[in-house]
Structure 1
Amino acid sequence: MKSLISRLGGVAFAMLPLTACASTQPPVPRASSVDVARYAGDWYVIASIPTRFEKEAVNAVESYRLAADGTIETRFRYRKNEATGELKTMHAKGFAHADTRNAVWGMQFVWPVKAQYVIAWLDPAYRQVIVARDKRDYVWIMSRTPTMSDADYEALVARVAAMGYDTAKLRKVPQQWPEASTR
């Protein structure tokens, strides 16, 4: 039990920087409106300015499911270091802010801390997304598929740069799925 409390305390301590959103820059843009039911499902992480938990991620997938109570059940799973590496999974609960037309969420990994999660850009077909933060410390480029064209990727990187991020910090997340694998 003591070990569990120590680990949770460590996670809570590690998440503290995620909660502060003070910035001298204007807020990152927000999608005009997000249909959470349509947004739900799997999103492959194509690139990110990663948190410390994601620095060695391979085959990273973020999954969302709208819960009966209106929250968004979130599961982030990835393999560590390589496609056959240890499977890691993190769970969180998202709280969409209705006054932002669901473009801004509080993402809770450890109670009571809620990290800012901004759907900064979402294509109209809900196939690609940029999730950002006003602090510009982390960003995620995600897709409904494990790959995207170079042209699409470069366009999304340009959007991230226009938001005020240092794109030199972006890490492309290896997506190395065997043909017959289950995701």
Structure 2
Amino acid sequence: MNKKLKTKSWFKKMMVATILLGIGTSVMTHAQKPMPTITQVDLAKYLGVWYEIARKPMYYQKQCARNVQAVYTLNVNGNISVENSCVNTDGHLEQAQGEAYVVNAPHNSKLRVSFLPESLRWLPVGRGDYWILKLDANYHTVLVGEPKRKYLWILSREPHLSEDVVQEYIKYAQSLGYNTNDLIRTLQTEKNN
């Protein structure tokens, strides 16, 4: 009888260990899957103003309270000038100037962005991944992320987006392995300050 109990106990422990190992392997395998981007981005259509609808927490945006937006324009180097802005908790406008570099031409769905001072942007450091993960055909809504799944943005051409569309993009992010439980919804008001 005692031997049967030990066998059952051992069997239960092995089952639990096998299940945990399987879950761990599944999570690791999913996290190691390459991050898919969209096939092709027409940069001319992508340029312009984008309003932030939601984001994962990011150190560089912790001061942003509302009206977060990005303006992308083509610069003289053939790269993309980036102007990010938001209104902080004190009601002041915060701005950051950067430059984005396409790293997978001619597909144009993977960029690296630098917010270093302009005189230092030639350095191959301080650049963050900016990957276009989902983009509607009209270039109205975009999901931007990076391969480690730490940062994520939902952007729109309008300051407000229907909840159905927001949920569609959140679900797509989840299907890529993103944890969206900490997603911050961006407050967009009529005035910029």
Q: Please list every run of at least 4 consecutive aligned residues from structure 1 whose deviation after the TM superposition is greater than 2 angstroms.
A: 97-100
TM-score normalised to structure 1 length: 0.80
Query: 1:87–1:96: structure 2 CA closer, same or farther, 3 Å change rule?
Result: same
Displacement of 1:99 in angstroms is 3.6
Q: Distance in 2 between matches of 1:46 and 1:97?
A: 26
User: Which amino acid in the other structure matches residue 35 of structure 1?
Assistant: D
Displacement of 1:146 in angstroms is 0.2
Name the Cα RMSD after superposition: 1.8
Structure showing greater radius of gyration is: 2
TM-score normalised to structure 2 length: 0.76
1:77 aligns with 2:90: no
User: Which amino acid in the other structure matches residue 33 of structure 1?
Assistant: Q
Q: Describe the SS at the equivalent of 1:93.
A: strand
Would you say how many aligned residue pairs link Structure 1 and Structure 2? 156
Q: Give the corresponding residue for 2:103.
A: 97
User: Which amino acid in the other structure matches residue 117 of structure 1?
Assistant: Y
Residue identity (%): 29
Q: Give the corresponding residue for 1:120.
A: 133
Displacement of 1:100 in angstroms is 5.8
User: Gaps spanning 5+ residues in structure 2: where?
Assistant: 1-29
Q: Distance in 2 between matches of 1:130 and 1:60?
A: 15
Q: Give the corresponding residue for 1:33.
A: 40
Q: Give the corresponding residue for 1:63.
A: 71
Q: Give the corresponding residue for 2:94.
A: 88
Q: Distance in 2 between matches of 1:154 and 1:24?
A: 22
Displacement of 1:24 in angstroms is 4.6
Q: Distance in 2 between matches of 1:100 and 1:27?
A: 19
Q: Give the corresponding residue for 1:176.
A: 189
Q: Distance in 2 between matches of 1:92 and 1:109?
A: 4
User: Gaps spanning 5+ residues in structure 1: where?
Assistant: 1-22
- What does residue range 7-18 of structure 1 map to in structure 2 within 5 Å? none
Query: 1:99–1:161: structure 2 CA closer, same or farther, 3 Å change rule?
Result: same
Q: Give the corresponding residue for 2:158.
A: 145
